[in-house]
Amino acid sequence: MKIWNIAPLALAAAVAGTAFTSPATAQNATFVNIGTAGIGGGYYPTGGYICNLVNKTRQSYGHNVRCTVESTAGSVANLRSIAAGETEVAIVQADWQKHAYDGTSVFEDIGAQKNLRYVMGLHADVIHIVAGKGTGIKSWDDLKGKTVNTGNVGSGTEATIYTAMEAYGLKPSEYFGQETKLTSREQASALCDGKIDAFIYPTGVTAASITEATNTCETNIANWWDDTIQGLLKKYPYYVPITIPSGVYQGVDYEAKSWGMPATLVSTTRMSDDVIYNMVKAVVDNFEEFKKQSTLYLALNREDLATGGKSVPMHPGAEKYYKEVGLLK
């Protein structure tokens, strides 16, 4: 089991722009729109960085893939959109990737999505409990009776929190004093304005929403590590223990022990091998450039691209390139 420990550095954020395309060239292009999540998290900028590399390598690699990025409700919504044939490429949490493939948990109503394919492992989504310093919240147990944001409807945040609460035998409506459904863009300001006591958010360390909260008002990053969570990790191998280091956020001068899962790029059997091959090639060949874009990727290794968070079969186009460069045998 890989244990993630993210070292502190300053956040660098950028989102991909789309290059001008002449009508003649665009007519023969393959357009790929990556479904991500809220703008305040890690998925949206990650999708942008991937698209930047894909679009920049169009001429040198001889492909005509034109990549754009879209803000969405998050992992569960992305996977439902893939199931409906509305989306072909998305960034999702590794746990909901597996549930969608098996047709379990929140995907029981639509059944197993056996055409879902793994493309690439990305950064670790660390479950942050971010609380106002005056609330006295220092661990999961302290959230009882408090006003807590558990993520917008359709997000992986919401679904993961509910899964964990089931392991405790708890219901959100009974455990929290009040549960809110704010987006990642709204939760930091709500916390600092005193409208909520805490928000729970699985995202990369130094993601914009967390950094905004810790830079704007006095906060605690609470621990979420106990026997119940350790049991959850033993049951589901896509979950991993993660330590949030001291000093990575302003005013948080201690380590917080938590857990989480890798974020992954997924597609379907409907997407051609050549398109996925060139998307993977663009990131793998330019991995150091990709990694420099954000501190989200400090713990990400080149080898993780081919294996991190893989809980469904790999897309043939991705597998072909990983084997060519020796990341897979």
Are 43 and 149 found together in one domain? Answer: no
Exposure on the CB side of residue 293, measured as CA atoms within 13 A = 24
On whether residue 215 sits in a domain, the answer given is: yes
pLDDT at 9: 34
Distances (CA, A) of 270 to 70, 109, 115, 121, 323: 20, 22, 8, 20, 21
Are 233 and 310 found together in one domain? Answer: no
Q: Which of 261, 276, 304 finishes a domain?
A: 261
In the chain (329 residues long), the average pLDDT of successive 10-residue segments reads: 41 36 58 94 95 97 96 95 97 96 96 98 95 96 98 92 96 97 95 98 91 96 97 91 93 96 96 98 98 90 94 97 97
pLDDT at 6: 45
For residue 156, give its domain range. Answer: 125-261
Q: Write the CB contacts of 239 (distance below 8 Å, at least 6 apart in sequence).
A: 95, 232, 233, 259, 260, 261
Q: Which of 208, 241, 261 finishes a domain?
A: 261
Domain count of the fold of the chain: 2
Q: Write the CB contacts of 140 (distance below 8 Å, at least 6 apart in sequence).
A: 129, 222, 223, 224, 226, 229
On whether residue 244 sits in a domain, the answer given is: yes
Are 33 and 133 found together in one domain? Answer: no
Residue with tokens 């993660």: 242
Are 166 and 232 found together in one domain? Answer: yes
pLDDT at 13: 34
Q: In a 10 Å sphere around its CB, with 0-12 CB exposed, 13-18 middle and 19+ buried, how is residue 170 labelled?
A: middle
Residue 132's Cα: distance from chain center in Å? 24
On whether residue 329 sits in a domain, the answer given is: no
pLDDT at 2: 45
Count of helix runs (H) and strand runs (E) in the chain: 14, 11
Q: Are 118 and 315 in contact (CB under 8 A)?
A: yes
CATH number of the domain bearing residue 244: 3.40.190.10
Q: Which of 261, 277, 295 finishes a domain?
A: 261
Digit-coded pLDDT (tens) for 8-67: 333 333 333 433 333 435 557 899 999 999 988 899 999 999 999 999 999 999 999 999
Are 71 and 97 found together in one domain? Answer: yes
pLDDT at 298: 83
pLDDT at 27: 58
Residue 55's Cα: distance from chain center in Å? 22
Residue with tokens 């998050």: 74
How far is residue 186's CA from residue 169's CA, in Å, rounded to a whole number?
A: 29
